[in-house]
Amino acid sequence: MIAEALGDVAQLVDRVEALAPAMDEARQALDQTSAALARQAEAFERRMSALAENAQTLAVRHIARRTAALTRESMDAQSRAMADAARALFAAEIHPALQHLALPLRQMVARMNRPWLTWLSHAATAVVSSIITSAVILYLGLE
């Protein structure tokens, strides 16, 4: 039984001694895998950094385009509001004043369309002044 136990211990020692090279191979494989993983992690980190930088660039471009579009829309809306305000101001303030100023011009144009009326007025004035002058001369001459 002792011999059998010693045989079992010898087999166990042989197995442990055989296990050392296998463990050394496993450690080397683990070291290689670790180095390969580190290289892949570095490459992955570079790709992720490039991807993040690209995403940031695209986001900044999008923000710039949207800001420019909103600025244009705001400027257009402000221009329309200013034009509407100017039209309202013109209709409320300037249009009545222009109508007031245009009334005498319309009357003058109406008179110009009837020139005979002006000459008739002058002729009537000349006739009346001639009659009055004649009457004054006759009155002074009779006395």
CB atoms under 10 Å from CB of 129, counted, come to: 10
- What is the per-residue pLDDT across 120-133, written as a single tens digit (0 to 9) for each? 788 889 899 999 99
Measured distance CA(14)–CA(37) in Å, rounded = 34
Q: Are 96 and 102 in contact (CB under 8 A)?
A: no
Mean pLDDT of the 53-63 span? 95
pLDDT at 116 over 80: no
pTM: 0.44
Tokens found for residue 95: 């249009």
Least confident among 14-23, 43-52, 54-63, 120-129: 14-23
User: Band of the pLDDT at 25, cuts 50, 70, 90?
Assistant: confident
Distance of CA 90 to the CA centre of its chain: 28
86: closest CA among 99, 97, 95? Answer: 95
